[in-house]
Amino acid sequence: MSETTTTTSNDAPTAARTVPPNQKSMEDIVSLCKRRGFVYPASEIYGGINGFWDYGPLGTTLKNNLRNLWWREMVDCPPDSPDGKPISIVGLDSAIIQNPKVWEASGHVGGFNDPMVDDTETKQRFRADQLYGIVITDAPQDAMFDIQQLLVSQLKSGYVVVHYTFIAAAVSEVCEFLSTNPKPFKKQFGATTDEARIVDDCAVVSYGKKVGIIFPIAVDEQKIHYAELPSPFTGKRGSLTEPRMFNLMFETFVGAIRDEENKAYLRPETAQGIFINYKNILDTMRVRVPFGIAQIGKSFRNEVTPRNFIFRSREFEQMEMEFFCHPDNAKTWYEFWVERRLNWWKSLGIDRANLVRREHDPDELAHYSTACADVEYQYPFTAPGFGELEGIAHRGDFDLTQHQKHAKTKLEYFDQERNERYIPHVIEPAAGLTRGLLVLLCEAYTPDESRPSKMFMRFDPRLAPIQAAVFPLVQKDGMPEVAEKLYRQLRTKFAVQMDVKQNIGKRYARMDEAGTPFCFTIDSDTLKDNTVTIRHRDTCAQERINIEQVETFLQEKIGGA
């Protein structure tokens, strides 16, 4: 369940990622998630199953809180349009298994593939587009920072002899491994990593008098030179296969007979359920373009290399909205939704420095897409780089056109004001709910050596799975009775726990790990003047208020009925 990066060379065993100073440790976050009931490995008592996770009591509540805030933002209380008019967005919950023709029309059956490579010796498989190579060269030390010059001089002839290969999501992962696992390189080159410079997907790493160039090995180059590449698992050459396309959809069968005629698929995305219900919603809900259809639900992708905890898994939840608009206004709506979605994530208490907008380059776009931008977050395993949190795509009229063609059903929209028929263009903000949960966990995790727990979870109070805790200082003198009365009052409106076990410091520590923003303690003074102590999670500051004001206090800080 840790972030494991496989490396190469006979001397380089598989090793877990380490984290540079001043960065949060993913290993610590994963450990906390298991210990405190946020996320468990699925089927753990049977040894687990790779790429699947169970969400514990705190994780389930945190996920539900995020889901509810998204639904409120997109469906219950949608924003006004750029011209100040109300936007209509309705909800949907479509089936996980649809008629297989849906996925033929959408292109998933024929084109939902990743290039995969097998190691015939170890029987392991990896994505070809995640293979990095390192070339060791005698390039002069003072030239190491001129990365473009080095890359041109070493790689201008195309393929070069690669000394080592690595499977990684980004070049920063390779650099981190080299800096913390120097054994094979020290043995062969007489030095460890001194410093590195990363530019885009490439890097130059200093090894004493030698320089290593790290670069992604293009899939096309792998197809030609796969037999010459060292294995990322053993370091041996000749055991890798040519990259082959691998379909990511889970197959199943509907009914008693398991044959091609009854084959179906678990949905790889929730979007197509929206598109095939577009006409139903037009006919039953009296919506008018522009309008949106939102859906939250589970999707399934048979990822060959699930990695980085719940960042990339085989079963995950999505929060998607398809916004249907006139083709002439699509660019305006695209910009509107990109900015709206970026600002929404910022509103959840996520540090703005950890969020960026990244426009896709033309060669990254799907063939039907005019534009696409990602809201990216700086995860511990991507730092100092960023990884996708949400994508906002201008899908054009591709999906409705495909379904109109394959289903032989007219999906045009008649605009009475314009007296015009057209197939709407679609802007799609699509976020991973489980990936959003990971962002909240990473962002909230705050090391603090001054606390008994050595850390605390800095959740926005609206999202915290436990919003408040009630403690009697001791279990006597009437304090438990007062505490229980307050607890029973608050639990009708807030997610509250009452804890009477162990000393107050240990109870604070447990609530710090759970991310509880406010703790209320009943002590001997409470029995005299009817006041309680509030302990604030983020600052550990304490103040006293009248016990009758506690509910109002929480309503102001969190909201509630």
Assign residue 543 the CATH number of its domain: 3.40.50.800
In one-letter notation, the amino acid at residue 86 is P
Q: Does residue 341 contact residue 377 with C-beta atoms inside 8 Å? A: no
CA dist., res. 403 & res. 106, Å (int): 7
Lowest mean pLDDT segment, chosen from 36-40, 195-199, 390-394:
195-199
Domain co-membership, 102 together with 119:
no
Domain holding 156, by residue range, is 114-246
Q: Which of 52, 108, 42 is nearest to 315 (CA)?
A: 52
CA distance 102 to 108: 9
| Same structural domain, 272 and 403 | yes
Residue where a domain terminates, one of 391, 411, 442: 442
Q: Computed over its alpha carbons, how large is the radius of gyration of the chain?
A: 27
Residue 295: which of 94, 100, 129 has the closest Cα? 94
**Does some domain include residue 26?**
no
In the chain, the number of structural domains is 3
**Using one digit for the tens of pLDDT, what is the confidence trace for 17-41?**
334 444 689 999 999 999 999 999 9
Domain containing residue 283: CATH number: 3.30.930.10
Is the pLDDT reported for residue 3 higher than 90? no
Q: Where are the alpha helices (DSSP H) in 312-455?
A: 330-346, 398-407, 433-444
Top pLDDT among 420 and 560 is at: 420
Please report which residue ranges of 312-394 form alpha helices under DSSP H.
Answer: 330-346
Give pLDDT tens digits for 36-55: 999 999 999 999 999 999 99
Calculate the CA dihedral of residues 108, 317, 447, 348 and round it to 10 degrees: 110
Residue 23 domain-assigned? Answer: no
Q: How far apart are CA 67 and CA 348, in angstroms?
A: 12
Query: Are the CB atoms for 480 and 524 separated by under 8 Å?
Result: no
Does the pLDDT value for residue 362 go beyond 60?
yes
Interatomic CA distance for residues 282 and 287, integer angstroms:
6
**Higher-confidence position of 196 and 46:** 46
pLDDT tens profile 153-175: 555 445 567 888 988 878 877 87
Whether residue 107 is found in the same domain as residue 118: no
pLDDT in tens, 99-158: 999 999 999 887 777 888 999 999 888 889 889 988 877 755 444 445 555 555 555 445
- The answer to whether the CB of 550 falls within 8 A of the CB of 532 is yes
Separation of alpha carbons 97 and 21, rounded Å = 46
- The Cα 326–Cα 412 span in angstroms is 11
- Do 327 and 382 share a domain, yes or no? yes
Whether residue 27 lies inside any domain: the answer is no
Q: Does some domain include residue 292?
A: yes
Give CA–CA dist 91/287, Å, rounded: 12
Same structural domain for residues 397 and 262?
yes
Report the run of H or E that residue 545 belongs to, with start and end. strand 542-546
- Residue 228 and residue 261 in one domain: no
pTM, two decimals, is: 0.81
> What residue spans of 323-452 are helical by DSSP H?
330-346, 398-407, 433-444
Taking alpha carbons only, the member of 533, 103, 42 closest to residue 306 is: 42
The type of residue at 334 is Y
Quick: pLDDT tens for 209-228: 677 788 888 898 899 889 99
